[in-house]
Structure formats: structure tokens, C-alpha cells
Amino acid sequence: MNNSMRSFALHLFVLAILVVLFFTVSEYHSGNLARILVLSVYAMGYNLLFGYTGLLSLGHALFFASGMYGLGLAMQHLGTPAAPAMLVGLISAFVVSAVIGFLALRTSGVAFMIVTLMFAQAGYLTILLAGKYTRGDEGFVIPQADRAIGSIDLSQSDTRYFAALILFAVCFLFIGWLVQTRFGKTLVAIRENPERARMLGYDIQRHKLLAVIISGTLSGAAGAAYALLFGYAGATFSTVQYSIYPLLWVLLGGAGTTIGPLIGAIFMTYLIDISSEYTNAYMLIAGLALIFLTLFAPHGLAGVLRKKWLPWLP
């Protein structure tokens, strides 16, 4: 079995586990997992840019919020049904990521990180200033009756879980395929040595721009799905905090691995969930866990798997 087949089998195995989990865990945990699956798609988008291309962004909350508000505003003010509104969210994230990528990629390194942060802050302030439509910090709730595609009510726990799983599966398999294509391998080459990649004739800027667009669109898909499945769109999701979360998930799970974002999102979510039952200083525990993992597993949990047992892990 070659590496591509092993990778595909691994991805199918992960999806099979997620299907089985729905039938074996409590409703509380299935609800938690539905949220984790959506946020894992957000982390996948971030991982494509940071883990595979080597571009550190602190503005990904802007893409997440673009998808969320693209869908939410279309449903709230235009009466757009759920499925077309989801498409509006995707288009919004695509356009915003294309514009931001075109402008931000005029810089590099730390400057790129700062510029993306500034754009994200500008997006956050725009949401607050447009409070007449977005309701500012308060945000708005998407009515349960509107959260349906045809006869499928996405506000119900079972349909919500499988809708999140379908979105995750599509993005998971897409990323698994993408990173093994010539384009994906070129992104890794750019991450490792951009000057050598340029010397070999690759258009570095074009590949980086495409990476930003794909990354931002995936993140926007997660934002739109979050609003649709959980019925809320708020300015909180466009803050710096929500730009840092996917970075943490990717670092914990393993940057530059396809399963890293899922592992990181599960680990951090349940670490905070469990520790908050015992202490109000649960973020301190999460911070200590991050420090220890950074010291003893600098490549993340999936990175350890790749180094010790699964060298073919994509």
C-alpha cells in the first residue's frame, strides 16, 4: 500500500470513528463534538496557511466572521433560505480572503502577521459600527424555524451533528487530497525554502495568494456553518481571541498534518471543559498544557505520531 492509499484509509478511519461516536456518546458530548467538528474546519483552513505554507496570520477571525455574517445577514435582513445563505457566506469569505491576500502579501514575516491582525481589527470595528444591521457586540439569533434545508431541521441535535460531520468530511478529504497534489507539495517547498522554490521557477506570490484564498474560504465555511447550526452570529467571533484559537489548536494538534487541527480542537476543548469543573483558573491549566506540549512535543501530538510511528502521515 503506497502512502496515498494509507493516507486515504486513515482519513476514512477517522470519519468512521466520528460516525460511531455519535451512537455511543451522550447527547451532551455529541453536541460538543458537533461544535468541535465545525471549529476543526476553521483550524484546517488556518493550518493550510500556517502549517503548510509557513504564513503566520493573526487575522483569521476576519474570514470566519465573513462567512458567519455573510450567511447571518442574508438570512436576517433578506430572508434568504439556509442553503443559498450558506453560499453567500462562502462567497463573502472568498472575496474578503482574496482582497486581504492581495494586500497583505505585499509584506512578509512579522509584517504579514501584523497586517493581518490590523485587517481583522478593522473588520471587528466595522461590525460594531454597523450595529444597525449587525447589532454590534450583542449579535443576533437566527430563528430556529429558519435553520432548515428543505425538510431537514438543522437545529436538532442529530441532524446538526451529521451536518457538521458532512462539512468536516468534505473539507478533511479535500485537504488530504490537496496537500498531496503538486500544488500542496509546492506550498511545503515554499514553507521550507521560498528562495529555492523561486529559483526552481515557481510563482511564489501566486501560490501564497491561492493558499490565502483557500484558507480563508474554508474558515468562512466554518463561520457560516457555525451560525447556521448553532443559531447565533456575534462580534465576539471576529476578535483577536478567535484568531489565536486556531493557532493554538494547530500547534497542539500538529502543524502541517491533516489530522492535527481535529486533535488540537478536541484536546483543548475538553481540557478547558474538564478543568473548569474544578477551578475558575481553567485557562491557566490550558496555558500550562500548551507550554509543556511545546517543550516536549514541539511538532504537536500528530507530529509525534509522524515522527515515531507514521512517517507517511500527510
Predicted model pTM: 0.97
Of 111, 160, 135, 96, nearest in space to 236 by CA: 135
Residue 281's pLDDT is 87
The interaxial angle of helices 241-253 and 27-47, nearest 10 deg, is 90
In the numeric block, which cell numbers belong to residue 147? 435553520
* Residue type (1 letter), 172: F
Q: Where are the domains of the chain?
A: 3-237
The pLDDT profile of the chain, 314 residues, written as one tens digit per residue, is: 788 899 999 999 999 999 999 999 999 999 999 999 999 999 999 999 999 999 999 999 999 999 999 999 999 999 999 999 999 999 999 999 999 999 999 999 999 999 999 999 999 999 999 999 999 999 999 999 999 998 999 999 999 999 999 999 999 999 999 999 999 999 999 999 999 999 999 999 999 999 999 999 999 999 999 999 999 999 999 999 999 999 999 999 999 999 999 999 999 999 999 998 888 888 888 888 888 888 888 899 999 999 888 889 88
CA–CA distance, 254 with 300 (Å, rounded to integer): 4
Q: What is the DSSP letter of 152?
A: E
